[in-house]
Structure 1
Amino acid sequence: MKKKRILVAPLNWGLGHATRCIPIINALIANNFVPVIASDGVALMLLQKEFPSLSTIKLPSYHVTYARNGKFLKLKLLKDSPKLLKAIKAEKKMLKDIVEMQNISGIISDNRLGFYHKRVPSVFITHQLHVLSGNTTWISTKIHEKSIKKFDACWVPDVDGEINFSGKLGYAGSFEIPTTYIGPLSRFEKKGLKIVNDVLILLSGPEPQRSLLEEKLLSEFKTYPGKVYVVRGVMENEQTIKLMGNMTVYNFMTSALLEKTINESALVISRSGYTTIMDLAKLNKKAFFIPTPGQFEQEYLAKRLTEMRLVPSCKQEDFTMDKIKDTDDYKGLEPVDFEVDFKALFSLF
């Protein structure tokens, strides 16, 4: 019997959407499906490096960038919305051709709003049923719900219960389409490796905020007495490694090396992106979070984990090297015991 081809399309907004699709792509292969990857920019480049034998399709870019000043992020996103709507329209049009030419039997969209098809079972992956946007939260939640209703199913990468990772983000009261909590998704496994790095700095997310944080942290840790690894989160054709005193700086790492490096690090400093939280919980890590300025979701997640005494955090402008001493008083992130039933999820196709 011919294997069914499933289109997997993560949003290119930082690397989180692409990396959390890695366990899904691996599960599709294990369950005798043929994944076809569709994305753009660094997300597509990362998945091409992870799965060199799979066919990939370049999609129209959403062209979303962040404001230099977090206070203006909402305004910037509003200003960018015509570009966003144009890209969603273009990807919808492109999808019709892809489905026919590639003989697609199912679609898994991680936050690509235009990636659904009337005749093909279409799934939307999100951890945000409740979309925080300050005093416009109820509007952004309603708009998001309207978009998700065009899909056949919604998968939330979290557990349904009081002990969860997404807090109020993953719960929206009544929701009209079938919603399944599929458990946290991570491409990593915990390994009992010896700790060799004192600090691992993981940078990611849209510009210019990624670069602004990189600048700040490289300057702060110049005089740090311990061993520091930095992963810039910049996808390029070739991997580069620079030595800067006590710091070893990589432009990017593929999954196997990143898994090893996180396992070997005592403390991880990063954004409080949802995928990062799931990854660090799986590896049972101590962390320090610096949310992207103006990004309500990351600010909420960081604040919540700090209040739960799991991970300390602070604003980007307030960070100094001394702040990492706070991590001694926090528990760190722990894995949730949950086995994803991929066979049941994929029965939709």
Structure 2
Amino acid sequence: MQNPKRILVAPLNWGLGHATRCIPIIQALLEHGHQPFIASDGVALSLLQKEFPELPSFELPSYKITYAEKGKNFKMKMIWDSPKVLKAMAKEKKAVKRLVKEQGIDGIISDNRLGAYYKKVPCVFITHQLNVLSGNTTWMSSKAHQKIIKKFDACWVPDVAGKPNLTGKLGHLKKSKLPILYLGPLSRFEKMDLPQKYDLMVLLSGPEPQRTLLEEKLFTELQGFEGHILFVKGKIEAQQTTETITLPKGSITLYNFMQSKALQQALNQSEKVLCRSGYTTVMDLAKLEKKAFFIPTPGQYEQEYLAKRIEKQGLVPYCKQEDFTLDQLDRIKDFDGLTQFVSDIDYFDLFALFSKVKENSEPTSTSLST
């Protein structure tokens, strides 16, 4: 066993994907005797607090990320909000520095939190977007993101290095001096051999208002569905709620949210899945080898790219949000579905980074008992 370390795990609060893919990382830290500390904000923090109620957790300044109501305005709103994000990053850096000193943090794992970095301890950045797609400004947004990544001691990409892979040009650079390490796809789930209970599972996530807009559209369109639907809204609230609604030819069971164990079982019990094409969801569905249908978040270039790429490969069909109708689901049968990539992550080697002492570093804890 390595010398136990105190590791701050800080996912971005942008939907639930960054937080959920940190779950296997946190579990691995615990299995290797380390002490994880959780830091985030909003629903990402709430989700991890529910998954790991015994772990210390801290709230970081919010980036206050919301989507434009119309996809065509997505980039303009991101540009408009950028001063707000930069201000939050500056506050985040101060908050992280304070946490490192007060809690004796030995290392940081940031999942896309740009300011979750402190130069005096080893820092890791998790991302599947080495290239940040933004239309005609992709080159600029990618270079800006890579400049931030360069500050970190390692960049962990949750995909495989060669072909075939899940991220395509998002997670692969032709030439790079970045300290990149490919982990293989990350998922909190395991494939299970369970009897089918649901004909369709709807799984929502993502910032508002687009999450609510899709929820409302799908609830209307699915009224004519023949069979049993499990509809998970992705709204992390204090208490779990459930409701069953009878349809003319089936039923919808509604949950505001599900925690990992229940969600894993429900996904394994579902014949097909209707969801966004966020990368964490793609990794989860590949691990479970599911058939699915994707609706990318309007205007989000990354999700649109993934959905188009995966459809072109003959794996999962997709359509734009405004074009979705019930009969679109009939297309699923003509596609192969996602299959898992076998990857064996050596967490012992990964976590060895946190045993290295950086130049000009301040003394931090050398064991969990200090």
Which category of TM-score, normalised to the shorter sequence, fits these structures?
over 0.9
The equivalent of 1:79 in structure 2 is 80
User: 2:110 is paired with a residue of what secondary structure?
Assistant: strand
Partner of 1:268: 273
Opposite residue 53 of structure 1, the aligned amino acid is E
Distance 1:224 1:243 in 2: 14
Separation of aligned partners in 2, 1:228 and 1:305 = 24
The aligned counterpart of 2:155 is 154
Residue matched to 2:334: 329
Q: Say whether residues 1:287 and 2:288 are aligned partners.
A: no
Structure 1 CA distance for aligned equivalents of residues 331 and 145 of structure 2? 37
Match of 2:138 in 1: 137
Q: How far apart, CA to CA, are the structure 2 residues paired with 1:269 and 1:180?
A: 31
- Residue type of the partner of 1:250? Y
Deviations 1:296-317 (A, max 9, x none): 0000000000000000000000
Q: Which amino acid aligns with 2:236?
A: M
Q: Given residue 294 of structure 2, which amino acid in structure 1 is its aligned partner?
A: F
Residue-by-residue CA offset, 1:204-228 (whole Å, 9 max, x unaligned): 1011110110001000111212000
Query: In the alignment, is residue 214 of structure 1 matched against residue 215 of structure 2?
Result: yes
Q: 1-side partners of 2:283 and 2:345: how far apart? A: 14
Whether contact under 8 Å (2:47, 2:236) holds in the other structure is: yes
Q: Equivalent residues in 2 for 1:277-316 (5 A)?
A: 277-316=282-321
Contact 1:10–1:39 at 8 Å: present in 2 too? yes
Offset, 1:2: 7.1
- Structure 1 runs (4+) deviating above 4 angstroms are none
Give 3-state SS (helix, strand or coil) of 2:47's partner: helix
SS of structure 2 residue aligned to 1:101: helix
The amino acid across from 2:199 in the alignment is D
SS at match of 2:271: strand
Which amino acid is 1:283 matched to?
A: L
Q: Separation in 2 of the partners of 1:178 and 1:80?
A: 29
* Distance apart, 1:173 and its partner CA: 2.4
The answer to whether the aligner puts 1:109 opposite 2:105 as a matched pair is no
2:323 counterpart residue number: 318
Cα deviation, residue 347, structure 1: 0.6
Q: What is the aligned-residue RMSD (CA, Å)?
A: 0.9
For residues 61-117 of structure 1, what are the alpha-carbon distances to aligned partners after superposition, in whole Å with 9 as ceiling and x for unaligned?
000100000000000011111110010000001111100100001100000001111
SS in 1 for 2:353: coil
Matched position secondary structure for 1:348: helix
- Distance verdict in 2 for CA 1:46–1:142, change over 3 Å: same
SS in structure 2 opposite 1:347?
helix
State yes or no: 1:346 paired with 2:354.
no
Tell me the residue number matched to 2:243: 242
Letter in 1 for 2:101: E
Distance 2:118 2:230 in 1: 43
2:259 corresponds to which of 227, 232, 254 = 254
Residue range with higher mean Cα deviation, 339-348 or 172-181: 172-181
Q: C-alpha distance in 2, partners of 1:175/1:346? A: 23
TM-score by length of 1: 0.99
Residue identity matched to 2:245:
M
Q: Is the 8 A contact 2:224 2:326 kept in 1?
A: no
Please give the secondary structure, in 1, of the residue aligned with 2:106: strand
Specify every segment of 5 or more residues in structure 2 that has no aligned partner in the other structure, as ranges: 355-370
Matches within 5 A, 1:54-73: 54-73=55-74
* Equivalence for 2:128: 127
Letter in 1 for 2:79: L
Aligned equivalents of 1:225 and 1:154: distance in 2? 46
Q: TM-score, normalised by structure 2?
A: 0.93
User: Does the Cα contact within 8 Å between 1:232 and 1:252 map onto a contact in 2?
Assistant: yes
Partner of 2:362: none
Q: Is the 8 A contact 1:152 1:177 kept in 2?
A: no
Give the whole-Å Cα distance in 2 for the aligned partners of 1:128 and 1:213. Answer: 25
User: Is the partner of 2:340 in helix, strand or coil?
Assistant: coil
- Correspondences of 1:4-19 after superposition (within 5 Å): 4-19=5-20
Distance 2:308 2:134 in 1: 15
Question: What percentage of residue pairs aligned between the two structures are identical?
Answer: 60
Q: Which one is further off, 337-346 or 185-194? A: 337-346
2:100 partner amino acid: V
SS for the counterpart of 1:136 is: helix
Q: Secondary structure at the match of 1:183?
A: coil
**Which residue matches 2:53?**
52
RCO comparison, higher one (Cα < 8 Å, 6+): 2
Distance 1:225 1:278 in 2: 28
Give the aligned residue type for 2:352: S
1:169 maps to 170
Letter in 2 for 1:175: S
Conservation of the 8 A alpha-carbon contact between 2:184 and 2:343: yes
